[in-house]
Amino acid sequence: MALLTVAFVQVRGSSQDEATDVAGTAAPTSIQPIAFPHSIHAGQDRIDCQYCHFSAERSVAAGIPPVATCWGCHQVIRGTTEEQQAEIAKVVGYWERQEPIPWVRVYKVSDHVRFPHMRHVAAQVDCTECHGQVAETAGVIEKPVQSLSMGWCVSCHKEREASRDCAVCHF
C-alpha cells in the first residue's frame, strides 16, 4: 500500500513538471507579436472592452486598438517584472517607429458571411457569449473558443427569435 502511494505521488509529480514545461514554452511560440494579457487590462484594471474595441456598438467590426491607445498608458507605465518590461518595450518600439502592431486576426468568418457587431451589442448579447471569459484570459488569444459555424449562429438566432433569412447573413 505504501509503495503504491509513493508511485502515485511520483506520477503526479512528473506530470506537473510536464505541465510547467508546456506553459514555459507558450510565450515564444505565440502567434501574436506581443504577449498582451486581457486579464491585466480588462480583468485587474477593469478597462472597458469598448475602450479598446471602440467600434463594436456602432459598426460591423469591433475594431483592434491602434498603438496610440496603448501609448496613452504605456508612455508612463513600463512594467514591474522584467518580463513585463520586455513586452512593454515592444509596444514602445512600435510607437517610436510609428508602425502598427501586426496583430494576427483570430475570429474570422468567410467573406460570404456578414456579421454585424453593432446589431448584437444593441440586442444586448454580451461579448462573453461568443468570445468566452476574455477578461480572465492571461495568455494571448490564439484561437476562437468555439467554431464560427452556421449551426452556431442559427441556433442562437432561433433561441432569440432573430432572423434566419439566408440573405441576412449571406451576401
Task: Show contacts with ligand HEC in window 46-105 (CB under 6 A).
Answer: 47, 49-53, 56, 61-65, 69-70, 72-74, 77, 79-80, 83-84, 87-88, 91, 103, 105
CA distance 146 to 129: 10
Question: Measured from the CB of residue 15, what is the shortest distance to ligand HEC in angstroms?
Answer: 26
CA distance 53 to 62: 5
H-only helix segments in the chain: 2-26, 38, 49-52, 67-74, 82-97, 117-122, 127-131, 150-159, 166-169
Nearer to ligand HEC, 12 or 108 (CB): 108
Window 30-49: residues binding ligand HEC (CB under 6 A): 32, 34-38, 40-42, 45, 47, 49
CA distance 171 to 166: 9
* Residue 109 is a binding residue for ligand HEC (CB under 6 A): yes
Nearer to ligand HEC, 7 or 77 (CB): 77
C-alpha cell at position 15: 506530470
19, 26, 89, 113: residue in contact with ligand HEC (rule CB under 6 A): 113
Q: With contact defined as beta carbons under 8 Å apart, do 94 and 67 qualify?
A: yes
Question: Measured from the CB of residue 19, what is the shortest distance to ligand HEC in angstroms?
Answer: 20
